Structure 1
Amino acid sequence: MVKSRDIQIVKEFRSRLEAIMPILDLRIFGSRVKDTATEDSDLDVFIKVPQLDRSHREKIYYLAWEVGFEHNLVISTFVVTENQIKSGAVGANPLLSKVLSEGVIV
């Protein structure tokens, strides 16, 4: 069960991301969803965007750091595009299957 604090942090993160780019899908996954997180565990966030260039990737990582810093935790991102899922190697990645089946949409 995802803690309400984590949901609120990810909602804040998503809101700030949506101010700079469209988000197609955003989910929490990993230990915080499985309820196996420790105090030091990171907050894993899957983000699907329509397009991704270096500038957008840097903005995502910076926002993840900024929001995480404000809440005293590390936000780790797994960022993909629709095209990467459909025709790239990431579509065959077992982690993607886990995220899509077990991740919590925020």
Structure 2
Amino acid sequence: MDVVMLYEAARSAGLLTAVTVAGSPANQTVHCVFRAPDETVLDGFALSRDYQIDYPAAWLTLAAGDTVEIAGSSYQVRDVRAIGDGSERRAFLSQL
């Protein structure tokens, strides 16, 4: 199945989160998989959030330093990596 079709089906089912790219033409909004898993830091003495979004590469072009808004909170893109066969991207975020 095509990755875009998969994401469209997930969006239609309400499984994705709206992400607005700040500064893009008309503040472009796309629907992405949003994750905020806890990550152990400081040799296990603390937890930190590791914010991520996954999206089809055809829908969005992000780069380190870009700003996105998710559910009223702003995040800065730290890194973007291709996942799977390269048709999807994963952006690692820091909350502003």
What TM-score results when the alignment is normalised by the length of structure 1? 0.30
Bigger helix share: 1
What TM-score results when the alignment is normalised by the length of structure 2? 0.32
Relative contact order, higher structure (CA 8 A, sep 6+): 1
